[in-house]
A and B are shown apart, each in its own frame.
Chain A
Amino acid sequence: MSSIGLREFHSFEAAGRRFLYLVPSAAVFALDDCSAAIVDALGHGPKPIEDLTRDLASRFDVADVSDTIAELQRVRALGETSAPPAPMPKILPLRPVPLQTLVVNVTNQCNLACTYCYEYGEDKIVDTENGQQPKFMSEETAREAVEFALRESRENPRAHITFFGGETLMNFPVLKATIAYARRRGAEVGKDVDFSLTTNATLLRPDIIEFLATERVGVTISIDGPEELQNKFRVFHNGKGSYDIAAPKIKALLQRHRSRPVGARVTLTRQTLDVSRIYRHLTDELGFWEVGFAPVTTAPGRDYAISGGGFDHLLDQFRGLAADYLDAALNNRHHGFSNVRETLQEIHHGHAKAYPCGAGLGLMGVSTDGRVALCHRFAGSDDHGFGTVRDGVSWEKQQQFLDSHHVSNKTDCQTCWARPICAGGCYHEAHTRYGSTNRPNLHYCEWIRGWTHTCLEIYGELAERNPAFLGQFDDDVPEKVS
């Protein structure tokens, strides 16, 4: 007699209802009483269908029970123990994937000296100070990067260029010329070119703000919060904090730049772990539309590293702010906690990721000398390079990368229900922590599962109580760079 048992999923409750997040499909289904009873009855192990039906006969109609079993089997929430699930296929793209986002590091210089910076700090990958690379990208290289982006975007009608650094505004003349050039070339080849940049805001001037607003450049500001938090790590080379310089310029930018939402990007460290206070300051006092948080990328043991209990504390704080997000969403109000919005977007689509991000797939980074690498965080590194903007990239190298970094290679991830959404986490983080891009980031697994669970609950809550709100997630959005 064949038995049936539970397959891989994560169960959660929202709005008084049971849901399943199925793995690896990333599909979310709501359960009724009968299906929830079946899932519970199999919680302690597989059972023959006859036994299961008999056990539930007092509560549900026998025909209903067998229909429900068939439905649960159909979506692979249940399966026969005699036929174990097929291993997840490793499917690699057979031809070059269109490039969606090219991150162009227009300079590797910065007027700040943030202690935790991955470009300059203790964990840097490429020595940009004593290395061979030019400090500023030339106009010529930037033009070649534009041509590369247009060419590699292939059949896509749109190319997205993100300027990164260093401090991008230290090379504003080239940035400005590049946007003009890309607009002209985009029109010639019939593609929309879209721009964004990340800056620390200290070099903003009225004419720059005017330019960013009229050219509809998406702006992300790196800022860590109110004065004493910002000044802990985000300091000038002489050690002086940058808040006093940055804050008035940010206000001026937010007042003028209305053509695209301006977001704040906060780096969280052990010493600055106060999510709701930072959020309130950045939205209420400075006026940001959205705020995204990311724990600092660092080797273990650094003074500012978040570790052990720090991640639990961080999760509690994220949950607190996420509750505010849900409250706002149920009342159709905007809330700017972008970490929730981005995770809801992924859950809504149900992307089951084979790779943690688009790096090396639809996203690449260019160093000041025009070398193309995995992403901006590896720009200029020969070990993580695919080619140059001049000569193009090697599809063979890209394929090798995709082959060796597929989630199916990450043994630790194979039993984790959060792998469709995490796929092992940031390559750069893994490289910094474990010395290799193909290692999963085991130091934050609990945090990822905890956070995904919270976002699933919010998603379920919205699906039940305000489903129209989820319509905003229907469109695909380009990947955020940080």
Chain B
Amino acid sequence: MKHLKPINRKAGLVETATARPEGAQDKTAKDVVALQQGGPPQQPEPHIPHGCSLVFSPGWEADRNGGTAGLCQPVERDLFDCHMGCFWPAQVPDQLNHAPDWTAKCAAAQKDWRKIDLIFPDEKKK
């Protein structure tokens, strides 16, 4: 900064924290833009968001009930829950025809998500 001179330690931190990145910066700095006011300028190349934050989908900051109890983390839970309560497409087994018991051991996703197992169609046929 040319016109303001940081005097105490906090001012030094403010200056560092608000420094605008020039040119290409690391991708993490770019990816949290949607969560902040202002922020660094967007890059010209296509921007691929991480998580749901850029489409204002439920699940990232708030769950589908508006609370924080059922956020889309960990990713394993995300896989299980998204196909039911959320429009976000998730690849899950066909529970109507081939794997009706896929979630039988998972009563509460927050606790039991580890019990959701992988499905191997060939092995199931045997």
Interface residues of A, Cβ cutoff 8 Å to B: 19, 22, 25-32, 34-35, 64, 67-68, 71-72, 74-75, 83, 86, 347-352, 459-460, 463, 474
**Cross-chain contact B6 with A27 (CB below 8 angstroms):** yes
For A75, A83, A348, A349, the residue with the greatest tally of chain B CB atoms inside 10 Å of its CB is A75
Complex contact A67–B10 (CB within 8 A): no
Residue of B nearest to A86 (CB): B37
B9 in the interface (beta carbon within 8 A): yes
Contact A29-B5, Cβ < 8 Å, known A349-B10, A350-B10: yes
Report how far A68 CA is from B37 CA in the complex, Å: 20
Interface contacts (Cβ under 8 Å), in number, total 75
What chain A residues lie within 8 Å of B28 (beta carbons)?
A: none
Q: Which residues between 1 and 49 of chain B lie within 8 Å of chain A, taking CB atoms? A: 1-11, 13-15, 18, 37
Residues of B within 8 A of A27 (CB): 6, 8, 10-11, 13-14
A164 to B: closest C-beta gap in Å: 31
Chain A residues within an 8 Å CB radius of B9: 348-350, 474
- Residues from chain B with a CB closer than 8 A to the CB of A352 are 10
B3 touches A67 (CB 8 A): yes
Q: Is the CB of B4 within 8 A of A29?
A: yes
Give 6 closest A-B pairs by Cβ, nearest first.
Answer: A350-B10, A27-B11, A30-B5, A28-B7, A27-B10, A68-B3
- Give the chain B neighbours of A74 by CB distance below 8 A: 1, 18
CB pair B2 A71 closer than 8 Å: yes
Q: What CA separation (Å) do A25 and B16 show in the bound complex?
A: 14
The reply to whether A72 and B8 contact each other, CB–CB distance below 8 Å, is no
On chain B, which size bracket covers the interface? 10 to 19
Given contacts A75-B15, A459-B8, list 4 more A-B pairs with CB under 8 A.
Answer: A22-B14, A27-B13, A28-B6, A71-B3
Cβ of A448 to closest chain B Cβ, rounded Å:
19
Nearest CB on A from B14, distance (A): 5
By a CB distance below 8 angstroms, the chain B residues around A64 are: 3
Smallest CB gap from A85: residue in B: B37
**Chain A interface, >50% SS class:** mixed
User: Given that A25-B14, A83-B37, A86-B37 are contacting pairs, would A350 and B3 also be in contact in the complex, using a CB cutoff of 8 Å?
Assistant: no
Residues on B close to A: CB < 8 A? 1-11, 13-15, 18, 37
Cα distance A352–B13 in the bound complex, in angstroms = 13
Residues of B within 8 A of A71 (CB): 1-4
A350 to B14, CA, bound (A): 11
| Distance A27 CA – B11 CA, assembled complex (angstroms) | 4
**Cα-based distance from A26 to B11 in the complex (angstroms):** 8
For residue B7, which residue of chain A has the nearest CB? A28
Q: Which residues of A contact B11 (CB under 8 A)?
A: 22, 27-29, 75, 350
* 6 residue pairs bridging A and B, Cβ less than 8 Å apart: A19-B7, A29-B7, A32-B3, A35-B3, A74-B1, A86-B37
B residues in contact with A26, CB < 8 Å = 8, 10
Q: How far apart are the CA atoms of A75 and B2 in the complex, in Å?
A: 13
How far apart sit A274 and B65, CA to CA, in the bound complex (Å)?
62
**A348 touching B14, Cβ below 8 Å:** no
Tell me, in angstroms, the Cα distance from A22 to B2 when the chains sit together: 18
For B2, what are the chain A residues with a Cβ–Cβ distance below 8 Å? 32, 67-68, 71
In the bound complex, what is the Cα–Cα distance between A19 and B4 (angstroms)?
9
Residue pair B10, A72 in contact (C-beta under 8 Å): no
Residues of A within 8 A of B8 (CB): 26-28, 347-350, 459, 463
Which residues of chain A are within 8 angstroms of B18 by Cβ–Cβ distance? 74-75
